[in-house]
Amino acid sequence: MITQYLLPSSADAAAAELAGGAALMAGGTTVMPRVLAGGVEAERVVGLARAGLDGIASDGGRTTLGACTTLAAVAAHEATPALAAAAGAIGGPALRNMATVGGNLVVGAPYGDLGVVLLALAADVDLGDRTVAIDDFWAEFRPGVDIVRSVSFNDDLAAVFVRWARRAANSPAVVCVAVAGGRVAIGGVGDHPVRSVGAEAHLRDPGAAAAAAAAEVDPPTDGIASAWYRKRMTEVFVRRALEESHAV
């Protein structure tokens, strides 16, 4: 039963509370439903709203997104159009005003659309005691131990983001694809976004790249789509993303 809600003034203080057994909450869009359902066993919840982890900054050719920056703020940031498109496609306005960059990175599929673009951009993730390449993030992140502080990427890369969902708005993606700097990232085909090495080997031939991407993914079947349908849409949308990237 939750008996305390703590609002530390720094990420280090929040990490200390986390080490002491507290549950972590940023925007609360996934944690609060678990709290209300009795699914959080910790007696204390540590919130990050006052930990100084919000904001978007550009310096020295890199853009940095604070982990507590809301998806609404990212969606409104015109300097990062592909990220803005991904953030703006997640949930509805009320959710985007609460959900955060860090939370969307660690939330399970199929909700982590922002990570697909960040993976294509070869972003780095600051975890406080270390910085990891986003390629390694999902393997190295330790729930209950690590706190995402910020995410940074080179802002001279043009990225393309395409997405397919059952409905135009407020619907989880069946598949989404991002392309940037010769990297192809796909969401909706696993527990977290993945790179398609097969597609990257055929960047000049969108058809061959799309077929290679579909061949190497092993998507799940769930209430949103079947594995067969996700594979088919992977091929369609990898091709579409590459064709769009060639036109930029």
pLDDT at 5 over 90: no
Residue 36: predicted pLDDT = 66
**Strand locations in the chain, DSSP E?**
4-6, 23-25, 44-47, 56-59, 62-66, 124-126, 131-133, 150-154, 159-165, 173-180, 183-187, 194-195
Average pLDDT score over the chain? 92
Coil, helix or strand at residue 124: strand
pTM of the complete model: 0.94
Please tell me whether residues 148 and 61 are part of one structural domain: yes
Q: Which two tokens stand for residue 191?
A: 């527990």
pLDDT tens digits, one per residue of 167-206 = 766 788 999 999 999 999 999 999 999 999 999 999 999 9
Give the CATH number, domain containing residue 179.
3.30.390.50
Q: Do 163 and 237 lie in a common domain?
A: yes
Q: Six-digit token pair at 44?
A: 């204390």
Report which of residues 24 and 126 the model is more confident about: 126
* Pair 111, 168 in one domain: no
Residue type, 48: L
Domain enclosing residue 206, as ranges: 159-247
Number of domains observed in the structure of the chain: 3
How many CB atoms sit inside 10 A of residue 155's CB?
15
Condensed to tens digits (0 to 9), the pLDDT of residues 24-61 reads 888 877 777 777 677 777 788 889 999 999 999 999 89
- Range in 77-86, 119-128, 208-217 with the lowest mean pLDDT: 77-86
Ramachandran assignment for 131, one of left (phi > 0), alpha (psi -120 to 50 degrees), beta (any other): beta
Mark whether 87 and 112 lie in a shared domain. yes
Please determine, for residue 119, whether its predicted confidence score (pLDDT) is greater than 70.
yes
* Percent share of the chain, pLDDT over 70: 96
- Examine the pLDDT at 17 and tell me if it is beyond 70: yes
Mind listing the pLDDT tens digit for each residue in 95-114?
999 999 999 999 877 778 99
Report DSSP letters for 186-235, one per residue. Answer: EESSSSS-EE-HHHHTTTT-HHHHHHHHHHH------SS--HHHHHHHHH
Supply 218's token pair.
């092993």
In the predicted model, is pLDDT for residue 70 greater than 90?
yes
**Between residues 110 and 63, the one the model is more confident about:** 63
163 and 150 housed in the same domain: no
159 φψ region: left (φ > 0), alpha (ψ -120 to 50), beta (else): beta
Domain identity same for 60 and 110: yes
Calculated CA dihedral for residues 226, 230, 231, 237, nearest 10 degrees: 160
The residue assigned the tokens 């990570």 is 115
pLDDT band for position 248 (cuts 50, 70, 90): low
pLDDT above 80: residue 138: yes
